[in-house]
Structure 1
């Protein structure tokens, strides 16, 4: 990533991944406390890897929990992603991931695939006060949750800092102010890039099957209809006004229907297939390198 005019960098670990926040001037102690407090609250609400989160309580049989402030926006966005991908993207895929070994404790030992409940909107619903579950199920907001958190952290930082800002959560980032050039990492060789995107007052989110991968062909991007990892797409990138929708499109691009939804939402995208071919949205401003540089 090329450096913007923001010259001060704060690096830390949160929700299991490295973060970096770049600002024109150092964030003071109160601003940092606001950021870490927000991230901790989000984790206590949505992490399926904790035993004390709201998601864990629902999976353990609680019929309802206090509704988190992000529930409406995130689950409504999931409804659009699910409809566009004919059910391949589904927030109840948590149990499917756990059966493949990617659950609490990280067994990383696969059992037989388990599809997610097809009619998930009949299982999980919410009102102004409560998030309800008709039957014990494991919510997983990984398709867009980190993007949502990037948006919320950006809002906190903007309220406390002026000038150029970059909030980078390891592959999901938001930029305000000066443009930043971002290399699109080759999914089969982290030392190479398949192209460069210039991001200004926008968000870029990426997803790849080489991240959170284990076993023989197992990774975290599942088709919820079958409970099995997708095998045709290796990596995706999405650029949009906000990180939550860009993150959701980065997931939807692993399936049919993702490009159409990206068009409706005004999101530019690139995806690399497992055979080395690269596809991209019409009019994309991303600078892609030659085919020779992207072949796997």
Structure 2
């Protein structure tokens, strides 16, 4: 993604394990930058399973009842819909499954075998606007939509006017049209198409971005603990980044396109054999 037109100021930084870039027409002052950094730090402190002192890490060790972070209802309610649509393939308790395959807090990349996430996660994890309860130790992972949620929170803190927030492929666009390349998952120097995005978010997910070992990567089927094999990359455009991120995850599984249609989200996805599928209302320019 390359900012164009009136977006002449770029702020680049690293956070939550990825590179961020915020493009604006006017430079962000120190107060705004501090507010954005604080919002990211709070989200990371609450939801990162890679930090031993985070809220979800503590719940993963001993369970319990805590004051619900501000994003609890929005994210876990979306997980409820994702689980239903994908028949259990997307599950917020997939954290331990990922850790056992090597995508753990230490990034050990040592595969200790597949384990399914608890299918009864709605019994183990309950929430309201006030509280988040985990009845027994269980590791919550919000990777299916959490980065998109954080992109939305960051964009809300950027002063009014045209802006683009890019967090490693989760991109929110406001007040301007942006041409965004759809990176080929098997050759990152190429694109399979370009999508013009205006006042919306485009989120992408691909099996090549966090891959290790013998065919292991970060997109697991929570029902089995095994990596997905049919799809290599997905892209989704929605009014907000959390929704786009959630659908991009769901598209690796049966039920993803139906959920996208229900939520009014346009999408593209590439199979591991290189063939490409797209939604009826997709406005992406796809190359042959």
**TM bracket, shorter-chain basis:** over 0.9
Instruction: State the partner residue of 2:247.
Output: 249
Secondary structure of 1:60's aligned partner: helix
Instruction: State the partner residue of 1:199.
Output: 197
**Segments of 4+ in structure 1 off by > 6 A?**
none
* Equivalent in 145, 164, 180 of residue 182 of structure 1: 180
Aligned residues: 287
Instruction: State the partner residue of 2:257.
Output: 259
Partner Cα separation in structure 2 for residue 184 and residue 104 of structure 1: 29
Partner Cα separation in structure 1 for residue 258 and residue 165 of structure 2: 28
Instruction: State the partner residue of 1:72.
Output: 73
Instruction: State the partner residue of 1:89.
Output: 90
CA contact (8 A) 2:202 2:235 kept: yes
Partner Cα separation in structure 2 for residue 165 and residue 99 of structure 1: 39
Partner Cα separation in structure 1 for residue 102 and residue 30 of structure 2: 39
Deviates more, 1:39-48 or 1:123-132: 123-132
Partner Cα separation in structure 2 for residue 259 and residue 212 of structure 1: 24
CA contact (8 A) 2:72 2:129 kept: no
Instruction: State the partner residue of 2:237.
Output: 239
Partner Cα separation in structure 2 for residue 33 and residue 150 of structure 1: 16
CA contact (8 A) 1:6 1:163 kept: no
* Equivalent in 259, 276, 284 of residue 286 of structure 1: 284
Q: List aligned pairs for 1:161-172, cutoff 5 A.
A: 161-172=159-170
Deviates more, 1:266-275 or 1:60-69: 60-69
Deviation at 1:127, TM superposition (A): 2.4
Instruction: State the partner residue of 1:293.
Output: none
Secondary structure of 1:87's aligned partner: coil
TM-score, structure 2 as length reference: 0.98
Partner Cα separation in structure 1 for residue 129 and residue 155 of structure 2: 25
Alignment deviations for residues 76-118 of structure 1 (CA, whole Å, 9 cap, x no partner): 0000010000000000000000000101111101012000000
CA contact (8 A) 1:49 1:105 kept: yes
Task: List gaps (5 residues or longer) in structure 1.
Answer: 291-296
CA contact (8 A) 1:24 1:162 kept: no
RMSD between aligned residues: 0.8
Secondary structure of 1:121's aligned partner: helix
Alignment deviations for residues 141-161 of structure 1 (CA, whole Å, 9 cap, x no partner): 00000000000111111xxx2
Instruction: State the partner residue of 1:136.
Output: 137
TM-score, structure 1 as length reference: 0.96
Partner Cα separation in structure 1 for residue 129 and residue 195 of structure 2: 39
* Equivalent in 214, 217, 233 of residue 216 of structure 1: 214
CA contact (8 A) 2:3 2:164 kept: no
For the pair 1:43 / 2:44, whether they are aligned, the reply is yes
Instruction: State the partner residue of 1:230.
Output: 228
Instruction: State the partner residue of 2:28.
Output: 27
